[in-house]
Chains A and B, each alone.
Chain A
Amino acid sequence: MNIEGKRHIWSDYQKEIADDHFFYVRSCIRQSFFPGSEQFFLNLMRNILGKDVYENPGHTTCTGIGYHSDIVPSATIMTVIARHFALMKESGYKNIAISCVTSFGLYTEILDTWKHFPEQLEKTREYLFKATGREFDIPENVAHSSDIIYKFKDLIAQKAKNLLINKITGEPLKIVEHIGCHYAKMFPKSGVGGAEFPHVLSGMIEAWGGNVVDYPERRHCCGFGFRQYLVQANRGYSVSNTAKKFSSMKPFKPDMVLTNCPGCTMFMDKWQYTIKEMEGTSFGDKGESIPVLTYEELAGLVLGYNPWDLGLQYHMVQSEPLLKKLGIEYDNADKFKTKDGKQMPIPQNLINS
């Protein structure tokens, strides 16, 4: 492995990422399954980095899952996304920050479609105006929220309380990075580092002191793949994809997986539980499963935030082995308590806990 070769490729895929004043659009899945991630993104941007990030309550789903399931036609999704651009224009913002990789892929695809087929853009303007009376502008800057954390990764490193070092061994943590397919595989120029050797997450890992694990099935799908999962009869295929990926990374004994896509986080986390139930197989060291974190959650740990405030307890694979390696103190009694201290029901069968 020659890191210089990777740097050479990365230098070809440097995208412009706005510095401030973001119109933030949330993800359907992440709000439900990893709610601490988006919450911490806003906290980090506004209160730690001092940036202006605006959320409009009128923002809706992008309908991406419906689009990829063939139940939402392209004219409809273009109009939905055009409405988000209209909300952005009305709010006085020009830089869009997108939380979801599926949405990011769709925004990128639709902007590219409009560039090559301007008549589609004009039709979308007409549909939106007829339906809502709204008008919109094309954003000046389109960034995925992982792009934005990547941009500020060195600032985060300067404020770090927990670098990605195994406190027990003194060695850097071995971290698998997994990039959502829709981040850059369709449009390599839209992702930091391109499609084959993306740098958006590996850059964070390096900046925060960890080591990136390169393993044979690094590019393989997480197992979601939309209709592999959405069509119930295909779910075995979805699980087998995840099993193939984890079997490939297992010999490298990774300490955690870092992802930037809601689907990837969800499936790499939850299918580990499923595979363990089905086959009794686990993929981490010493019979443990491998914690799968979002980049916001990891940034939060690096900055010294309480893992339960970051929402790590809502993952199927619990993060205690990772927290121990990082030397982070935590109190399991607080794990499933609300902000005002009320005890919530404690889920059964959590793994690694």
Chain B
Amino acid sequence: MNRDVIVIGGGTAGMEAAGQLAKAECKVTLIEKEEEAGGHVRNWCHLFPDRRNSADVVKYLSDLINQKNITFLKGTSVESINKSKKKFHIKTNRGHEMLSDAVVIATGFDLFKSEKKEEYGYGIYNNVITSADLEAMFRSGDLRKQNGEIPGRIGFVHCVGSRDEKSGNLYCSKLCCVTAVKQAIEIREHLPESKVFCFYMDMRMGGAHYEELYMQSQEKYAVNFIRGKVSEVGESINNGLIVKVEDTLAGRPLKMELDMLVLMAGMEMAEGGRKIAGMSGLNTGENRFFAAADNHFGSNISNIKGIFYAGTCTAPMNITETISHARASVTEVMDYLKESNI
């Protein structure tokens, strides 16, 4: 078989799909808007639940796309997708014009812009950061407040831009709870003298080994879990963060001063995915992610024959699920090429 397949998006899903398609002897063009492949995982330090170094995953994916059947176009975004008979005609911002027999959309997700939750003061109060900012600190090995001091009391706000009607995101981003647990443990390891508080609505520990990690965070690392939503953040005269939260288990409001507050930003349909949906006629759901043809047995299939989905462009997923979903998309592509006699 020697068929042309274009994969849009060079993150985990796109790299996995491209690699598996190439193994199946398709000629693959992998298009990535950034200068480097790898997506969000490149920015992470360690991964839940086993604290694997994210560089391992990036290396696995990079090795996978290092095949002769794959052309990698970096710094490139898609300008138009048109279907004529069985061929897809794709133009890019860098003047490429390509024909392909099938397309895999793997545009992934964007992190929710935490400044939209104005009451938390991201971008205003210096020591309010996001989970991604914290990962960058872990990568640098330097966990400090903006003034260079070591933080002593650190809080995590769960569900920032997830399960939040005001943000327009009713869905659960699924990964933030376990990420907060993992990051809370890492803070306690980096700074054994610190106190860590997680403000949560529900702890959604629905993955393999998540619950164990959650128990470990409490028993071994003494992370405090407070069930309640943060209502607002202010700054004291010493630049401490004054956090107001309702402790719904104790049944009372709580006000505490923290040195650092980490916002667990949720996942949203990527801007790049939205543009592609707009230009191609691909259906999106109420949650703005791409809408799969069937929730149970068609989660890789789009409303346009020959275009398939891989990974978090359809819903929040962890890396394990993303890789599985990307592999499933390859099965769908191969079936389509075969059934269509391409």
Q: Which of B112-143 contact A (CB under 8 A)?
A: 115, 118-119, 121-126
Encoded as 1 (CB less than 8 Å from any B CB) or 0, chain A from 1 to 18 comes to 110111011000000000
B24 within 8 A of A: no
Encoded as 1 (CB less than 8 Å from any B CB) or 0, chain A from 210 to 237 comes to 0000111111000000000000000000
Contact of B123 among A2, A215, A217, A252 (CB under 8 A): A2
- Find the A residue at minimum CB distance from B233: A216
Contact present for A216 and B234 (CB under 8 Å) = yes
A8 cross-chain contacts in B, Cβ below 8 A: 115, 123
Q: Considering the chains assembled together, what is the distance between the CA atoms of A195 and B121 in angstroms?
A: 12
Q: Is the interface of B mostly helix, strand, loop or mixed?
A: loop
A118 within 8 A of B: no
Q: Considering the chains assembled together, what is the distance between the CA atoms of A8 and B116 in angstroms?
A: 10
Contact present for B124 and A215 (CB under 8 Å) = no
Interface residues on B, range: 10 to 19
Q: Considering the chains assembled together, what is the distance between the CA atoms of A8 and B122 in angstroms?
A: 11
A194 within 8 A of B: yes
Q: Considering the chains assembled together, what is the distance between the CA atoms of A251 and B242 in angstroms?
A: 14
Q: Considering the chains assembled together, what is the distance between the CA atoms of A214 and B123 in angstroms?
A: 15
B236 cross-chain contacts in A, Cβ below 8 A: 215-216
Contact of B119 among A4, A196, A216, A251 (CB under 8 A): A196
A127 within 8 A of B: no
Write the nearest CB–CB distance from B327 to chain A, whole angstroms.
41
Contact present for B126 and A2 (CB under 8 Å) = yes
B186 within 8 A of A: no
Write the nearest CB–CB distance from B6 to chain A, whole angstroms.
37
Q: Considering the chains assembled together, what is the distance between the CA atoms of A344 and B269 in angstroms?
A: 69
Q: Which of B83-131 contact A (CB under 8 A)?
A: 115, 118-119, 121-126
Contact present for A252 and B234 (CB under 8 Å) = no
Contact of B115 among A9, A214, A252 (CB under 8 A): A9
A197 within 8 A of B: yes
Encoded as 1 (CB less than 8 Å from any A CB) or 0, chain B from 202 to 223 comes to 0000000000000000000000
Q: Considering the chains assembled together, what is the distance between the CA atoms of A217 and B257 in angstroms?
A: 13
User: How many positions in chain A have a CB within 8 Å of any CB in the partner chain?
Assistant: 19
- Find the B residue at minimum CB distance from A214: B235
A214 cross-chain contacts in B, Cβ below 8 A: 234-235
B36 within 8 A of A: no
B237 within 8 A of A: yes
Contact present for A197 and B234 (CB under 8 Å) = no
B125 cross-chain contacts in A, Cβ below 8 A: 1-2
Q: Is the interface of A mostly helix, strand, loop or mixed?
A: loop
B193 within 8 A of A: no
> Are A216 and B124 also in contact (CB < 8 A) when A5-B115, A8-B115 are?
no
Q: Considering the chains assembled together, what is the distance between the CA atoms of A194 and B121 in angstroms?
A: 13
Q: Considering the chains assembled together, what is the distance between the CA atoms of A332 and B291 in angstroms?
A: 74
Write the nearest CB–CB distance from B168 to chain A, whole angstroms.
14
Contact present for A219 and B232 (CB under 8 Å) = yes
Contact present for B237 and A196 (CB under 8 Å) = no
B235 cross-chain contacts in A, Cβ below 8 A: 1, 214-216
Contact present for A252 and B237 (CB under 8 Å) = yes
B237 cross-chain contacts in A, Cβ below 8 A: 215, 251-252
Write the nearest CB–CB distance from A13 to chain B, whole angstroms.
10
Contact present for B118 and A194 (CB under 8 Å) = yes
Write the nearest CB–CB distance from B122 to chain A, whole angstroms.
8
Q: Considering the chains assembled together, what is the distance between the CA atoms of A110 and B320 in angstroms?
A: 51
Contact present for B232 and A197 (CB under 8 Å) = no
Contact present for B118 and A196 (CB under 8 Å) = yes
Contact present for B234 and A217 (CB under 8 Å) = yes
B126 cross-chain contacts in A, Cβ below 8 A: 1-2
Contact present for A197 and B242 (CB under 8 Å) = no
Contact of B124 among A194, A197, A217, A252 (CB under 8 A): A197
Q: Which of B219-256 contact A (CB under 8 A)?
A: 232, 234-237, 239, 242
3 closest residue pairs by CB, A with B: A5-B123, A196-B118, A5-B124
Given A214-B235, A216-B242, 8 other A-B residues pairs in contact with their CB atoms under 8 A: A2-B126, A5-B122, A5-B123, A9-B118, A196-B119, A215-B235, A215-B236, A252-B237
Can you report 23 A-B residue pairs in the complex whose CB atoms are below 8 A from each other?
A1-B125, A1-B235, A1-B239, A2-B123, A2-B126, A4-B123, A5-B115, A5-B124, A6-B124, A8-B115, A8-B123, A9-B124, A196-B118, A196-B119, A196-B232, A214-B234, A214-B235, A215-B236, A215-B237, A216-B234, A216-B235, A219-B234, A252-B237
